[in-house]
C-alpha cells in the first residue's frame, strides 16, 4: 500500500486514490517505424530490482498523470514529478545517486 | 436497519446546487476578470475553495475549477464567463445535473467522513477553505467544509443512492467514536 | 480440580455476576472474566478436542496464543466459530459450545484417531490419498471435507455491523504494557499525534501480574499514573481491545478494534478496522511463553507457568490444588511462589538445569517447596485431566525415577518475543543464544517510504526480560525510532542472581520414539516432535516445507506456541544451528480478524455502487428485469403479466419495428472535447477522419488501442468548429475519458484540448420506430422533419418545453432519434414521451431488444464482436478506417504481419439450416486436429439471437475466409455433442438498403 505525493495537487495520496500506468518515459513509435522499434515501444519493459520509473494517475483525485521514481526492492520513493517531461528532473536523479550510487535505468543514470 | 433518521450527524441531499466546470489557464487575466465580474475575488489556490455569499469556486486541478451557484443562475454565469474568455482556449460547461450534493451537519462530521475516505480529517490537516477530491468507499467524490459543523460532499449522480447508503451507515447512531469531539 | 479462590483477581468484579451457558449447561462468572477463566472457575477443564486425533484438550495459555480453547459462539445470525476462550470477555447470556467432536465432548468417536496415530504420521494425507486416483473424488475428498475444520460454518447471515476508519498518526504504539506506556509517556511530550493501542481490555500487561517496582514505584502505581497523564494529553489517543493486525508498506497499519464483542446489546458496529497511515510504529508487543515438549504435555491441566499465574492473580482462579512446575529457566519459579502464596500445594519444581535457579531457587526452597534439579517429566498421567507425572533425569532417556500425584502441571520453556509487527514488512531477526530466542535485528529494520526505520520494537518483544528494563527500553524508544536507525541493541546484560535458561527441545533429552510421539509441539494441529523429525528424515529440510508437510503452525493460532519449538526440533534433526534453519514467514493478521471487519460498511445496499439513470426508479416500478452493464443496471426487458423474458423481448421488438419504442440510453458515454486542436486530437483517437465532420453532423467512429485492437465505438457530433461531443459505449465512458486524458497529458501535452465528462449531466432517450417523428412533432419545438434534421444530423432547442439536443441516429435500423435533456428533467421527459406515444402503442424496450435489433442490422457490439483481439478490419469496417490519415492510435499495429494476414477470421452472418438459434460462443470445426490432438476450428459465434422480425435464429461470427465463402455450410458442435449446421450469409439480415432509417 504505497503513498505517492501527487505533484499537481500536493496530496500525499493513498494507493487507493491512484491508478498505476506502467513504465514511464516510453517513446511512441507510429506508422513508418521499424518492427523492432514498434515492438520495443509496445511490449519491451524494464523489470529492475531497484530503481524504477513509473506512471501513476491520481484518478480518485485531481485526475492528473504523474511520474514516480522508486525502488522496487524497498519501495523507497525518491520522488514524483510532472508527466510532461522526457526525463526525470536532475534533482530526483541526484537524490537517487545519493541513495543508490551507480544506478542506471535505460538511458538515465 | 439503516436510515437517515437514526444518524448522529444530519444528512440531506440538496438538489438546488448549480455546478459549472471551468477549464482554462488559471493564470489567465481574462479568467481573473471573468471571476471578478461574477462577484468573486482571487482565484482559489491549490486545493482551496473560495466563497462569496452566493458563490463558491473550488480548485479541482491545475487547469480546472468548479463553480458552485444557485441552479437558476447557471446559464447566465456560463455565458458571462464564456464571453470573457472568448478567443482563449477554455471550456465552460454546465454540469449541475451530473452530480449529487450531500450536506452533513453536526459535531461529528470529521469522523463520519474518515470512515469512508482515506483522508486525514484532523483539524490541523483539513479545515474550512479546502476542497478535497478523493474517494468515498468505492466511488470518486469531493468534499469541503463551509463551517466546522457543515460538510458538503459531491459525487456523480448515478451513484447518489450508493453514497446515501454508505453515509447513513457511517453515521449510524451508536457508532460514534469521539475522535475529534466527545462521542 | 480448577476452581475460584475466595480472594484475588485483579481484573474481576466479584459484585457483578454474569451467567453463561457451555454446551447447554448454565455457569456463572464475574464481570472481567474471560470465558477461559470463567470455565476454569467452574472446574470445566476439558474444553475441546484436537483437530486430527480428537484428543481431549483444555486451556494451555491465557492470551492470544491459546491453541486449544476454541468455541462455537452465539447462535443464528450471531453465530461465530473458533472463538478463543482466553480473549473472549464474559458477558451475561454468552452461549458457547465446544467443537470438533461427535457425539459429545466427553465421549468422542473421532478419538479413535489417537489410537491410530501411528498410522497417521506427518504427510499422511499426501501419502495416502494420492493413489488410486479415482478414489480421490468419490472417497477421500468427501471424507476430508467432512472431517475438515474445527468449528461449524455459520448458516445464517451475520446480523452485526462493521466499519472502517481511516486514521493518520505520527506514531502508533502497539501494546499497552509497561514498555508501551513508558514509550507513550516519553513521546507524548514531543507533541506528536500518537495512538496507543492494546489488544486486551486492560492496560498494564503482564507486569501487573508479577508486581514489583519500576521507575521507583510499584508497577500498578506506574501504570495508573502514566495512564492519567496520557489521558490528559490531547495529542494522544488511547484504545483498548484494539489489536495491531498487520504492518504494510509506507506506514500502513491495520488495527482491529473489537468495539462491542463484550457488549452484545450495544448499538453500533461490532468490529472496526482502523486503516492507519503512520510515520512510525513502536511495537511493545511483549513475549509469549513456550511449552516444553514432554510426553502427554497436552493433557488438560498442563498449562504454561505464566498462564497459571495469570489465572491466579488476574481472575482468582486456580488450575489445580497440587501443582508440579517444570522449567528450564528461573521465571517459572514465580509461579511456584504465587501458587504457594495462594494457599495451594506445589508438589515440586522440576528444573531441567543441573545447577537450578539463582536467587528465586533459594527463595522457593525457603518456602518449603521441593526443588529437583536436572530433572524433567517423562510422562504426564491422565487423559481428560492430569492425575500425576513421572519424573526422569533430563539428561537420560526417560527412565522413571518417581511418580508424583498432581492435578496441574505448569511448564515453562522460556519466552519468545512477539516480533510479528517487526517482521511483517521486512524486519529481520537474530538468534539470541543466551536467552534462547529470536529477537529483532536492529540493523535490518523494516523501512518506510524514505528508507528509514518504520517499526521499532521495545520491551519484552525486544528481548528485554525484566520489568524495569522494559520501562527503560520504552523510554528510549524515540532514540531507536529516529530516522538514523542507528540505536544499539537493547542492553541485555546478565542480571545478577539469575541463572541462564537452558535449551530444552525435548524432555528428556534422549527420549525414545514412544515418548517423542506423545510430545506435542502444535496442539491445535496435532503435530508432535516425532512428526517434525520424520519430515526432516524424508527430506523436508526447509522450515517452510516442513511447516506445510506437517501442518506445524498452520492452525488458527499460527504457531504462536509451537513455531520455535518446532524449528528447534527440525534444527536438531538436521544437526544444524537454529539460526541456520530460521523461522517461517510472519504474515498478517497477528490473530484472526472477522470477515465482517474486512468488508466494513460494504454490505447489502452499500456492497457496491450500482449506477442508476435518471429513469431508474421508473424502470423498477415497471418491474423491469434488470441486467448489469458495467456498474449500471439497465432494463433487459419489461415483462408484462405472465410473459417470459423471450416473449417480452419479442413484443418490444415488434412494437418498435412496427410503430414506436423508447429506450433509456442515458448510460451512453458523452465526452465533450473542445479546443483549437480538438479535431486533430480526434483524428488520432478514431480510425475515421473526424476533422472533416461538418458542424451539425454526426459520424460513427471506431477507437483502437495502440495495439490495434478495437476498444470502443460511438457517434461523434460536431457542435461547433472546435467542439465535439463523443458518445462512447455504456461501459466505456470513464475508461475512454481516462484514455483521452492519458494521451493529452502524457504524449500530446502541448495540444490545446480540454475534455469534460458530461455523461451524467444528460438523460438520453432513443425514440425509435416508424412513428418516432410523429411523436416528437406532437411535442413541438425542434424541427425533426427529414429536411431539417436528416439522417446523421443533430439539432438543439426546446422540445415539448425541455432543453433538448436531438441526434438523428439509429442503432436499430428504424427511423430513430436520440434526445438528450438535462438529467434532472429526464424522468419528466420520459413520461412526456410515453404520453405522446400512447396513440402509437408506445412501449419501452430493454437492452435485449436493442441487441437483437442491432444484430438484425448487422451492427457490431463492443464486447460481443470484439474481445480485445479483434481489429476493425476483421469486422468488415474498412469503410470506417481513414486511408488519408498518416497516423492514428493503432494504425502502426494494424500494419503488423499478423494483422494483415488473410487467414484472420472475418465477420459474417450465420443462418442455421433448421432455423434454430446457435449457441453463443460455439466454434465451427474443420478437418483434422492440432498438435494437442484437439479438433481444428475455423470460426466462432460472436452474437446469436432469435429474430422475431425474421422468425428464425440469426447470428454473427468470425470465420476463416468468411466473406469469400457466402453460402458455405459449416458445422458447430454443441456441448452435448450434437452438430448444428449453419450457412454463411451477409451479416445484414434486415433492410440491407437502409431505407427504413432514412425516411
Q: DSSP string spanning C939-985?
A: EEEEEEEEETTTTEEEEEEEEETGGG-TT-EEEEE-TTS-EEEEEEE
| Residue A109 within a domain | no
Q: Using the beta-carbon criterion (under 8 Å), do A9 and B140 form an inter-chain contact?
A: no
> Which of A19, A35, A42 best tests the C interface by mutation, with the highest count of C CBs <10 A?
A42
| Tally of helices (H runs) and strands (E runs) in chain A | 2, 6
For residue C145, what pLDDT is reported?
A: 62
Average pLDDT over residues C222-239: 97
C-alpha distances in Å from residue A37, one per residue of A26, A27, A47 = 11, 10, 19
Q: Using the beta-carbon criterion (under 8 Å), do C707 and A42 form an inter-chain contact?
A: yes
Q: Using the beta-carbon criterion (under 8 Å), do B157 and C760 form an inter-chain contact?
A: yes
Q: Domains plus CATH for chain B?
A: 4-14+98-170 (3.30.1360.120), 17-97 (3.30.70.1520)
Q: For residue C682, give the 3-state DSSP assignment.
A: helix
Which chains pack against B, by 3+ Cβ pairs within 8 A?
Answer: A, C
For the beta carbon of residue C19, count every other beta carbon within 10 angstroms.
14
Q: Are C521 and C565 contacting, i.e. CB atoms less than 8 angstroms apart? A: yes
> Angle CA(C846)–CA(C849)–CA(C853) in degrees, nearest 5?
140
For residue C556, what pLDDT is reported?
A: 87
Average pLDDT over residues C381-398: 96
Chain centroid to Cα C795, Å, comes to 51
Which chains pack against A, by 3+ Cβ pairs within 8 A?
Answer: B, C
The β-bridge partners of B24 are none
Nearest to C166 among B119, B165, B173 (CB): B119
Q: Are B155 and B99 contacting, i.e. CB atoms less than 8 angstroms apart? A: yes
Size of interface A-B (CB pairs under 8 A): 33
Could you tell me the three cell numbers for B160? 447518489
Q: For residue C372, give the 3-state DSSP assignment.
A: strand
| Residue A53 within a domain | yes
> Which of A61, A63, A65, A83 best tests the B interface by mutation, with the highest count of B CBs <10 A?
A61
| Residue A105 within a domain | no
Nearest to A76 among C450, C738, C893 (CB): C450
**Residue C106 DSSP code:** S
Q: What is the 3-state secondary structure (H, E, C) of C381-403?
A: ECCCCCCEEEEEECCCCCCCCEE
CATH for C503-576, among 1.10.8, 1.10.10, 1.10.15, 2.30.30? Answer: 1.10.10
Q: Using the beta-carbon criterion (under 8 Å), do A17 and B46 form an inter-chain contact?
A: no
Task: Identify which of A7, B70, B180 has the alpha carbon closest to the alpha carbon of residue C165.
Answer: B180
Q: Is C675 on the interface with B (CB under 8 A)?
A: yes
Distance CA C178, CA C306 (A): 17
Average pLDDT over residues C275-291: 97
User: What pLDDT, in 10s, does the model give residues C755-807?
Assistant: 999 999 999 999 999 999 999 999 999 999 999 999 999 999 999 999 999 99
Q: Choose the weakest-confidence range: C109-123, C598-612, C906-920.
A: C109-123
Task: Name C931's Cβ contacts closer than 8 Å, sequence gap at least 6.
Answer: none
User: Could you give the residue range(s) of every CATH 3.50.50.60 domain in chain C?
Assistant: 161-289+414-493+595-605, 291-413
For residue C485, what pLDDT is reported?
A: 47
Range of the domain at A43: 3-27+37-99
Distance CA C463, CA C461 (A): 5
Higher per-residue confidence, C150 vs C251:
C251
Distance CA C226, CA C206 (A): 16
Distance CA C721, CA C833 (A): 32
Q: Which of chain C's residues have a Cβ under 8 Å away from the Cβ of A100?
A: none
Q: Are C248 and C424 contacting, i.e. CB atoms less than 8 angstroms apart? A: yes
Q: Is C884 on the interface with A (CB under 8 A)?
A: no
Q: Are C509 and C540 contacting, i.e. CB atoms less than 8 angstroms apart? A: no
Long-range contacts made by residues C627-634, C-beta under 8 angstroms, separation at least 24? C627/C847, C629/C667, C629/C730, C629/C731, C629/C847, C630/C667, C630/C730, C630/C731, C632/B158, C632/C667, C632/C730, C632/C731, C634/C664, C634/C667, C634/C730, C634/C846, C634/C847
Q: Is C234 on the interface with B (CB under 8 A)?
A: no
Show the DSSP H helices in C76-123 as ranges.
112-115
- Residues counted in chain A: 109
> Angle CA(C436)–CA(C437)–CA(C440) in degrees, nearest 5?
140
C-alpha distances in Å from residue C565, one per residue of C292, C349, C671 = 8, 22, 64
| Residue A107 within a domain | no
Distance CA C552, CA C52 (A): 12
For residue C657, what pLDDT is reported?
A: 97
User: What pLDDT, in 10s, does the model give residues A67-103?
Assistant: 999 999 999 999 999 999 999 999 999 999 999 999 9
User: What pLDDT, in 10s, does the model give residues C510-531?
Assistant: 999 999 999 999 999 899 999 9
Which chains pack against C, by 3+ Cβ pairs within 8 A?
Answer: A, B
Distance CA C243, CA B75 (A): 55
Would the pLDDT of C493 be above 60?
no
- Chain A residue closest in CA terms to B140: A60
Nearest to C250 among A1, A57, A63 (CB): A1
Distance CA C482, CA C464 (A): 20
**Yes or no: domain C609-854 corresponds to CATH 1.10.3720.10:** no
C-alpha distances in Å from residue A70, one per residue of A10, A79, A105, C596 = 18, 7, 12, 35
> Which of A15, A60, A65, A82 best tests the B interface by mutation, with the highest count of B CBs <10 A?
A60
Which pLDDT band holds residue B139 (cuts at 50, 70, 90)?
very high
Fold of the CATH domain C291-413: FAD/NAD(P)-binding domain (3.50.50)
User: Could you give the residue range(s) of every CATH 3.10.20.440 domain in chain C?
Assistant: 3-114
Task: Name C871's Cβ contacts closer than 8 Å, sequence gap at least 6.
Answer: C704, C708, C709, C710, C890, C894, C899, C904
Distance CA C63, CA C80 (A): 19
User: Could you give the residue range(s) of every CATH 3.30.1360.120 domain in chain C?
Assistant: 609-854, 855-997
For residue C151, what pLDDT is reported?
A: 82
Q: What are phi and psi of C50, to 5 degrees?
A: -75, 165
Long-range contacts made by residues C337-341, C-beta under 8 angstroms, separation at least 24? C337/C363, C337/C364, C337/C367, C338/C308, C338/C309, C338/C312, C338/C313, C339/C308, C339/C312, C339/C410, C340/C367, C340/C369
Distance from CA of B7 to the nearest CA of C (A): 11
Distance CA C273, CA B111 (A): 14
Q: Using the beta-carbon criterion (under 8 Å), do C707 and A77 form an inter-chain contact?
A: no
Could you tell me the three cell numbers for C374? 536436572
Q: Is A19 on the interface with B (CB under 8 A)?
A: no
Q: What is the CATH number of domain C855-997?
A: 3.30.1360.120
Distance CA C204, CA B38 (A): 62
- Chain A residue closest in CA terms to C891: A31
Average pLDDT over residues C940-946: 97
Distance from CA of A48 to the nearest CA of C (A): 18
Q: What is the dihedral of CA C220, C221, C227, C229, to 10 degrees?
A: -170
C-alpha distances in Å from residue C22, one per residue of C43, C95, C311 = 12, 6, 19
Q: Using the beta-carbon criterion (under 8 Å), do C887 and A3 form an inter-chain contact?
A: no
Q: Which of chain C's residues have a Cβ under 8 Å away from the Cβ of A14?
A: 277
Distance from CA of B92 to the nearest CA of A (A): 18
Distance CA C557, CA C51 (A): 13
Residue A14, domain CATH = 3.30.2270.10
User: Could you give the residue range(s) of every CATH 1.10.10 domain in chain C?
Assistant: 503-576
Q: Which of chain C's residues have a Cβ under 8 Å away from the Cβ of B125?
A: 168
Q: Using the beta-carbon criterion (under 8 Å), do A62 and B133 form an inter-chain contact?
A: yes
Number of domains chain A is built from: 1
Helix or strand holding residue C311 (H, E): helix C305-315
Residue matched to cell numbers 498462564: C307
| Residue A83 within a domain | yes
Q: Choose the weakest-confidence range: B58-62, C281-285, C494-498.
A: C494-498
Nearest to A3 among C277, C738, C746 (CB): C277
The β-bridge partners of C75 are none
Distance from CA of A28 to the nearest CA of C (A): 8
Q: Is A52 on the interface with C (CB under 8 A)?
A: no
Would the pLDDT of C668 be above 80?
yes
Distance CA B46, CA C57 (A): 63
What is the β-pairing status of strands C13-22 and C25-31?
antiparallel
User: What pLDDT, in 10s, does the model give residues C612-651?
Assistant: 999 999 999 999 999 999 999 999 999 999 999 999 999 9
Helix or strand holding residue C227 (H, E): helix C219-232
Distance CA C854, CA B119 (A): 46
C-alpha distances in Å from residue C809, one per residue of C108, C757, C998 = 75, 21, 10
For residue C130, what pLDDT is reported?
A: 67
Which pLDDT band holds residue C387 (cuts at 50, 70, 90)?
very high
> Angle CA(C336)–CA(C341)–CA(C342) in degrees, nearest 5?
100
Distance from CA of B89 to the nearest CA of C (A): 6
Would the pLDDT of C452 be above 50?
yes
For residue C111, what pLDDT is reported?
A: 73
User: What pLDDT, in 10s, does the model give residues C535-573?
Assistant: 999 999 999 999 999 999 988 889 999 999 999 999 999
Which pLDDT band holds residue C480 (cuts at 50, 70, 90)?
low
Distance CA C836, CA C800 (A): 10
Task: Identify which of C799, C830, C807, C846 has the alpha carbon closest to the alpha carbon of residue C646.
Answer: C846
Q: Is C248 on the interface with B (CB under 8 A)?
A: no
Q: Does the interface ipTM go beyond 0.90?
A: yes
Task: Name C858's Cβ contacts closer than 8 Å, sequence gap at least 6.
Answer: C909, C956, C986, C987, C988, C989
Which pLDDT band holds residue C719 (cuts at 50, 70, 90)?
very high
Q: pLDDT above 90 covers what percent of chain C?
A: 88
**Residue C718 DSSP code:** E
- What value does the mean pLDDT of chain C take? 94
Average pLDDT over residues C301-309: 98
Handedness of CA C388, C391, C396, C398 (dihedral sign): negative
For the beta carbon of residue B23, count every other beta carbon within 10 angstroms.
22
Distance from CA of A62 to the nearest CA of C (A): 12
Distance from CA of B168 to the nearest CA of C (A): 10
For the beta carbon of residue C449, count every other beta carbon within 10 angstroms.
21
Size of interface A-C (CB pairs under 8 A): 67
Q: Which of chain A's residues have a Cβ under 8 Å away from the Cβ of C747?
A: 28
Which pLDDT band holds residue B3 (cuts at 50, 70, 90)?
confident
Could you tell me the three cell numbers for C785? 422533419
Could you tell me the three cell numbers for C438? 529470536
Distance CA C849, CA C466 (A): 77
Q: Using the beta-carbon criterion (under 8 Å), do A10 and B134 form an inter-chain contact?
A: no
Which pLDDT band holds residue B63 (cuts at 50, 70, 90)?
very high
Q: What is the CATH number of domain C3-114?
A: 3.10.20.440
Which pLDDT band holds residue C53 (cuts at 50, 70, 90)?
confident
Show the DSSP H helices in chain A as ranges.
35-43, 90-99
Which pLDDT band holds residue C119 (cuts at 50, 70, 90)?
low
Q: Is A55 on the interface with C (CB under 8 A)?
A: yes
* pTM beyond 0.90, yes or no: yes
| Residue A73 within a domain | yes
Q: Using the beta-carbon criterion (under 8 Å), do C891 and A30 form an inter-chain contact?
A: yes
Distance CA B175, CA B168 (A): 11
Q: Using the beta-carbon criterion (under 8 Å), do B61 and A63 form an inter-chain contact?
A: yes
Average pLDDT over residues B76-91: 97
Fold of the CATH domain C161-289+414-493+595-605: FAD/NAD(P)-binding domain (3.50.50)
Distance from CA of B125 to the nearest CA of A (A): 11
Distance from CA of B183 to the nearest CA of A (A): 28
Distance CA C696, CA C723 (A): 11
- Chain A residue closest in CA terms to C278: A3
Amino acid at each position: 500500500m504505497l503513498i505517492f505525493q501527487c505533484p499537481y495537487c500536493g496530496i500525499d495520496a493513498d494507493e487507493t486514490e491512484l491508478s498505476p500506468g506502467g513504465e514511464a518515459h516510453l517513446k511512441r513509435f507510429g506508422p513508418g517505424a521499424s518492427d523492432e522499434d514498434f515492438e520495443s515501444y509496445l511490449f519491451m519493459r524494464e523489470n529492475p530490482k531497484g530503481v524504477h520509473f513509473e506512471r501513476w494517475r491520481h484518478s480518485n483525485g485531481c485526475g492528473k498523470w504523474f511520474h514516480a521514481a522508486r525502488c522496487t526492492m524497498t519501495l523507497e520513493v525518491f520522488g514524483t514529478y510532472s508527466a510532461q517531461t522526457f526525463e526525470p528532473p536532475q534533482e530526483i536523479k541526484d537524490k537517487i545517486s545519493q541513495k543508490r550510487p551507480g544506478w542506471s535505468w535505460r538511458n538515465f543514470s | 436497519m439503516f436510515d437517515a433518521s437514526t444518524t448522529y450527524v444530519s444528512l440531506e441531499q440538496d438538489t438546488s446546487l448549480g455546478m459549472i466546470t471551468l477549464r482554462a489557464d488559471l493564470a489567465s487575466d481574462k479568467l481573473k476578470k471573468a471571476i471578478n465580474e461574477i462577484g468573486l475575488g482571487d482565484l482559489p489556490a491549490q486545493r482551496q475553495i473560495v466563497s462569496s455569499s452566493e458563490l463558491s469556486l473550488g480548485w479541482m486541478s491545475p487547469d480546472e475549477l468548479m463553480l458552485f451557484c444557485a441552479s437558476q443562475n447557471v446559464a447566465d454565469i456560463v455565458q458571462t464567463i464564456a464571453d470573457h474568455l472568448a478567443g482563449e482556449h477554455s471550456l465552460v460547461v454546465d454540469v449541475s445535473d451530473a452530480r449529487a450534493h450531500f450536506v452533513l451537519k453536526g459535531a461529528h462530521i470529521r469522523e463520519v467522513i474518515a470512515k469512508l475516505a482515506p483522508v486525514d480529517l484532523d483539524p490541523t490537516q483539513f479545515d474550512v477553505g479546502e476542497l478535497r477530491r478523493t474517494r468515498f468507499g468505492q466511488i470518486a467524490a469531493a468534499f469541503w467544509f463551509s463551517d466546522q459543523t457543515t460538510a458538503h460532499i459531491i459525487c456523480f449522480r448515478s451513484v447518489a443512492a450508493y453514497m446515501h447508503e454508505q453515509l447513513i451507515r457511517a453515521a449510524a447512531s451508536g457508532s460514534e467514536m469521539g475522535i475529534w469531539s466527545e462521542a | 480440580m480448577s476452581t475460584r479462590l475466595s480472594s484475588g483477581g485483579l481484573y474481576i468484579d466479584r459484585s457483578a455476576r454474569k451467567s453463561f451457558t457451555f454446551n447447554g449447561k448454565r455457569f456463572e462468572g464475574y464481570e472481567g472474566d474471560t470465558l477461559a477463566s470463567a470455565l476454569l472457575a467452574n472446574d470445566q477443564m476439558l474444553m475441546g478436542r484436537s483437530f486430527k486425533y480428537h484428543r481431549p484438550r483444555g486451556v494451555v495459555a491465557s492470551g492470544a496464543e491459546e491453541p486449544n480453547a476454541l468455541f462455537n459462539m452465539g447462535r443464528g445470525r450471531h453465530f461465530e466459530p473458533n472463538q478463543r476462550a482466553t480473549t473472549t470477555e464474559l458477558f451475561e447470556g454468552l452461549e458457547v459450545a465446544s467443537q470438533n467432536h461427535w457425539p459429545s465432548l466427553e465421549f468422542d468417536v473421532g478419538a479413535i484417531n489417537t489410537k491410530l496415530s501411528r498410522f497417521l504420521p506427518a504427510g499422511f494425507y499426501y501419502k495416502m490419498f494420492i493413489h488410486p486416483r479415482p478414489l480421490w473424488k468419490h472417497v477421500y475428498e468427501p471424507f476430508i471435507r467432512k472431517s475438515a475444520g474445527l468449528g461449524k460454518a455459520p448458516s445464517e447471515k451475520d446480523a452485526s455491523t462493521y466499519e472502517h476508519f481511516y486514521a493518520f498518526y505520527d506514531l502508533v504504539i502497539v501494546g499497552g504494557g509497561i514498555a508501551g506506556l513508558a514509550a507513550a509517556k516519553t513521546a507524548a511530550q514531543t507533541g506528536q499525534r500518537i495512538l496507543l493501542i492494546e489488544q486486551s481490555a486492560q492496560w498494564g500487561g503482564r507486569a501487573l501480574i508479577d508486581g514489583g517496582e519500576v521507575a521507583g514505584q510499584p508497577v500498578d502505581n506506574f501504570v495508573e499514573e502514566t495512564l492519567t497523564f496520557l489521558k490528559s494529553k490531547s495529542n494522544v489517543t488511547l484504545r483498548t481491545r484494539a489489536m495491531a493486525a498487520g504492518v504494510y508498506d509506507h506506514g500502513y497499519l491495520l488495527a482491529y478494534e473489537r468495539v462491542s464483542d463484550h457488549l452484545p446489546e450495544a448499538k453500533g458496529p461490532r468490529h472496526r478496522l482502523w486503516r492507519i497511515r503512520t510515520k512510525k510504529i513502536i511495537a511493545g508487543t511483549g513475549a509469549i511463553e513456550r511449552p516444553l515438549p514432554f510426553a502427554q504435555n497436552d493433557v488438560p491441566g498442563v498449562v504454561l507457568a505464566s498462564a497459571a499465574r495469570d489465572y491466579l492473580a488476574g481472575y482468582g482462579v486456580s488450575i489445580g490444588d497440587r501443582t508440579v512446575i517444570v522449567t528450564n529457566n528461573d521465571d517459572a519459579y514465580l509461579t511456584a511462589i504465587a501458587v504457594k502464596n495462594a494457599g495451594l500445594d506445589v508438589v515440586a519444581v522440576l528444573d531441567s538445569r543441573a545447577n537450578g535457579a539463582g536467587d528465586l531457587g533459594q527463595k522457593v526452597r525457603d518456602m518449603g517447596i521441593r526443588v529437583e534439579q536436572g530433572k524433567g517429566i517423562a510422562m504426564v498421567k491422565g487423559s481428560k485431566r492430569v492425575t500425576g507425572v513421572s519424573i526422569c533425569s533430563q539428561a537420560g532417556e526417560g527412565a522413571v525415577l518417581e511418580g508424583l500425584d498432581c492435578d496441574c502441571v505448569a511448564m515453562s520453556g522460556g519466552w519468545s518475543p512477539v516480533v510479528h509487527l517487526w517482521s511483517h514488512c521486512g524486519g529481520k531477526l537474530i538468534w539470541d543464544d543466551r536467552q534462547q530466542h529470536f529477537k529483532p535485528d536492529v540493523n535490518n529494520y523494516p523501512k518506510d517510504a524514505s528508507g528509514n526505520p518504520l517499526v521499532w520494537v521495545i520491551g519484552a518483544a525486544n528481548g528485554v526480560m525484566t520489568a524495569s528494563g522494559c520501562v527503560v527500553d520504552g523510554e528510549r524508544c524515540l532514540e531507536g525510532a529516529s530516522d538514523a536507525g542507528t540505536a544499539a541493541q537493547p542492553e541485555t546484560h546478565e542480571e545478577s542472581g539469575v541463572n541462564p535458561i537452558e535449551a530444552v527441545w525435548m524432555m528428556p533429552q534422549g527420549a525414545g520414539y514412544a515418548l517423542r510421539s506423545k510430545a506435542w509441539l502444535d496442539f491445535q494441529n496435532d503435530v508432535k516432535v516425532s512428526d517434525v523429525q520424520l519430515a526432516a528424515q524424508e527430506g523436508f529440510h526447509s522450515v517452510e516445507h516442513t511447516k506445510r508437510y506437517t501442518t506445524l503452525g498452520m492452525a488458527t493460532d499460527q504457531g504462536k506456541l509451537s513455531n520455535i519449538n518446532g524449528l528447534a526440533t527440525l534444527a536438531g534433526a538436521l544437526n544444524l544451528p537454529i539460526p541456520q534453519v530460521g523461522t517461517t514467514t510472519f504474515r498478517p493478521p497477528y490473530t484472526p480478524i472477522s470477515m465482517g471487519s474486512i468488508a466494513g460498511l460494504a454490505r447489502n445496499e452499500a456492497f457496491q455502487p450500482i449506477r442508476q439513470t435518471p429513469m431508474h426508479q421508473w424502470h423498477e416500478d415497471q418491474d423491469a428485469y434488470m441486467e448489469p452493464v458495467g456498474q449500471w443496471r439497465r432494463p433487459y426487458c419489461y415483462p408484462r403479466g405472465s410473459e417470459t423474458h423471450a416473449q417480452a423481448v419479442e413484443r418490444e421488438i415488434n412494437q418498435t419495428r412496427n410503430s414506436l419504442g423508447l429506450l433509456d440510453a442515458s448510460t451512453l458515454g458523452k465526452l465533450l472535447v473542445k479546443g483549437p486542436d480538438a479535431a486533430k486530437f480526434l483524428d488520432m483517437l478514431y480510425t475515421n477522419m473526424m476533422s472533416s465532420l461538418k458542424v451539425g453532423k454526426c459520424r460513427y467512429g471506431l477507437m483502437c488501442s495502440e495495439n490495434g485492437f478495437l476498444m470502443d465505438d460511438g457517434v461523434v457530433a460536431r457542435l461547433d468548429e472546435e467542439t465535439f461531443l463523443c458518445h462512447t459505449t455504456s461501459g466505456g465512458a470513464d475508461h475512454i475519458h481516462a484514455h483521452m486524458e492519458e494521451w493529452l497529458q502524457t504524449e500530446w501535452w502541448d495540444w490545446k484540448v480540454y475534455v469534460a465528462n458530461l455523461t451524467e449531466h444528460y438523460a438520453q432517450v432513443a425514440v425509435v420506430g416508424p412513428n418516432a417523428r410523429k411523436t416528437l412533432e406532437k411535442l413541438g419545438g425542434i424541427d425533426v422533419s427529414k429536411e431539417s434534421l436528416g439522417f446523421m444530423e443533430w439539432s438543439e432547442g426546446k422540445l415539448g418545453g425541455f432543453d433538448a439536443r436531438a441526434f438523428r441516429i439509429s442503432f436499430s435500423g428504424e427511423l430513430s432519434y436520440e434526445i438528450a435533456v438535462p438529467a434532472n428533467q429526464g424522468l419528466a421527459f420520459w413520461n412526456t414521451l410515453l404520453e405522446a406515444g400512447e396513440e402509437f402503442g408506445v412501449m419501452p424496450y430493454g437492452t435485449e431488444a436493442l441487441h437483437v435489433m442491432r444484430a438484425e442490422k448487422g451492427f457490431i457490439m463492443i464486447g460481443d464482436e470484439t474481445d480485445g483481439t479483434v481489429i476493425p478490419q476483421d469486422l468488415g469496417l474498412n469503410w470506417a478506417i481513414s486511408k488519408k490519415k498518416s497516423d492514428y492510435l493503432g494504425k502502426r499495429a494494424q500494419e503488423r504481419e499478423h494483422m494483415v494476414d488473410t487467414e484472420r477470421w472475418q465477420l459474417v452472418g450465420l443462418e442455421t439450416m433448421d432455423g434454430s438459434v446457435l449457441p453463443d460462443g460455439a466454434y465451427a470445426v474443420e478437418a483434422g486436429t492440432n498438435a494437442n490432438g484437439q479438433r481444428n476450428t475455423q470460426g466462432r459465434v460472436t452474437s446469436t439471437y432469435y429474430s422475431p422480425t425474421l422468425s428464425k435464429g440469426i447470428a454473427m461470427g468470425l470465420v476463416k475466409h468468411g466473406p469469400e465463402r457466402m453460402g458455405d455450410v459449416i458445422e458447430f458442435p454443441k456441448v452435448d455433442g450434437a452438430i448444428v449446421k449453419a450457412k454463411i450469409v451477409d451479416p445484414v439480415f434486415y433492410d440491407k438498403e437502409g431505407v427504413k432509417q432514412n425516411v
